[in-house]
Structure 1
Amino acid sequence: MRIEVAKEKVALLPVNPTVLDTLRETAKLYTTRYSTMIEGNQLKPEGIKEVIQLQGHFHDRKRDEHEVKGYYTILAQLEQYAAQNHPVTEKLFKLCMP
């Protein structure tokens, strides 16, 4: 019941293109964070946002920074392919890799 009530509340929220873009960007940043964290990346969400959106640098975390940029770039490219209804395959994924 609680889930249905929550879904109804969300359905009534005003969702416009700006809100959708913000949600999409937040999801990409957090996906980048947790997917690279599995590999030992130690950048926090704020650090990832700084690297991606503000072109920030962490001199003591160059490997982490490079990994985050690469992962985020691949996500963005795959999102473009998906928007074009292009099938996402392992071959395509490998082509996206920097």
Structure 2
Amino acid sequence: MILLESDLKRISQYTGLDPEEFSVKKGRFRVLKNVDGRCFFYDQKNGTCRIYAARPIGCSLYPLVLSEDGHVEVDDYCPLSRLIPSYEKRKAKLLGGEILRELFSRG
């Protein structure tokens, strides 16, 4: 999951962790760390997200994802992907544009 600067700040404030503790640099971007193939913040015991209230924007859009070529798509791995209404897809495309602007304004 690519993290925006706003995600890094929000998660750091919420958890008290430095971004280096929960993310890694991948190319130009920071992404969430994985532990045993799962999100760093996944609570395996409860099956929940430990930072749900402060989760990355990309997580709040899931199962809508931003493809590598900058298009918003439905992640076919999600069992609920076929149930997403078209208005949610339109909303996600608008948010996808905002995400791209923030990502590529980083210089």
Query: Which structure has the larger Rg?
Result: 1
Common topology (TM > 0.5): no
**TM-score normalised to structure 1 length:** 0.37
Question: Which one has the bigger helix percentage?
Answer: 1
**TM-score normalised to structure 2 length:** 0.35
Question: Which one has the bigger strand percentage?
Answer: 2
